[in-house]
Structure 1
Amino acid sequence: MANQKRIKKQEDLSEVDMERLELLQKANEKIGRQLTLNSETGNLEEFDELKQLISKEFENPEEKYQLYYNGIQRLLIDFLPKGKEFKQLRDIIYDEKNVFLNLGKKKSDNNGIRKSDGRMTYQPVMNEILEIIIKWVGESQNPFDLYKAFYDLNEKHNYGHEQYDKSTLSVANAMLALSAK
Structure 2
Amino acid sequence: MEDKNKKIKKEQGVSQADIERLELLQKANEKVGKQLSINSETGNIEEINELRELIGKEFDNPEEKYRIYYNGIRKLLMDFLPKGKDFKEVRDIIYDEKNIFLNLGKRKSDNNGVRKSDGRMTYQPVMNEILDIIVQWVGESQNPFDIYRAFYELNEKHGYGHEEYDKSALSVAKAMLKLSEK
Shorter-chain-normalised TM-score: which range?
0.7 to 0.9
Measured after TM superposition, the shift of residue 48 of structure 1 is 7.3
Q: Tell me which amino acid in the other structure corresponds to 2:95.
A: Y
Measured after TM superposition, the shift of residue 51 of structure 1 is 4.2
Distance 2:119 2:66 in 1: 11
Partner of 1:5: none
* Deviation string, structure 1 residues 9-35 (Cα, Å, up to 9, x no partner): xxxxxxxxxxxxxxxxx9xx96x76xx
Measured after TM superposition, the shift of residue 56 of structure 1 is 2.9
Alignment of 1:62 with 2:63, yes or no, is yes
Partner of 2:168: 167
Alignment of 1:157 with 2:129, yes or no, is no
Distance 1:131 1:54 in 2: 26
Distance 2:129 2:52 in 1: 28
How do 1:1-181 and structure 2 match up within 5 A?
50-56=51-57, 58-181=59-182
Distance 2:95 2:143 in 1: 15
Measured after TM superposition, the shift of residue 52 of structure 1 is 3.4
Measured after TM superposition, the shift of residue 58 of structure 1 is 1.5
Measured after TM superposition, the shift of residue 49 of structure 1 is 5.3
Distance 1:57 1:174 in 2: 41
* Deviation string, structure 1 residues 88-125 (Cα, Å, up to 9, x no partner): 00000000000000000000000000000000000000
Distance 1:57 1:103 in 2: 18
Q: Tell me which amino acid in the other structure corresponds to 1:114.
A: R
The SS at the match of 1:56 is: helix
TM-score (norm 1): 0.73
Q: Which runs of 5 or more residues in structure 1 are unaligned?
A: 1-25, 34-46
Distance 1:143 1:85 in 2: 13
Distance 1:56 1:162 in 2: 33
Measured after TM superposition, the shift of residue 54 of structure 1 is 2.6
User: Cα 1:61–1:177, aligned 2, differ >3 Å: closer, same or farther?
Assistant: same
Distance 1:85 1:151 in 2: 22
Measured after TM superposition, the shift of residue 53 of structure 1 is 1.1
- Structure 1: which 4+ aligned runs deviate by more than 4 Å? none
Measured after TM superposition, the shift of residue 55 of structure 1 is 4.1
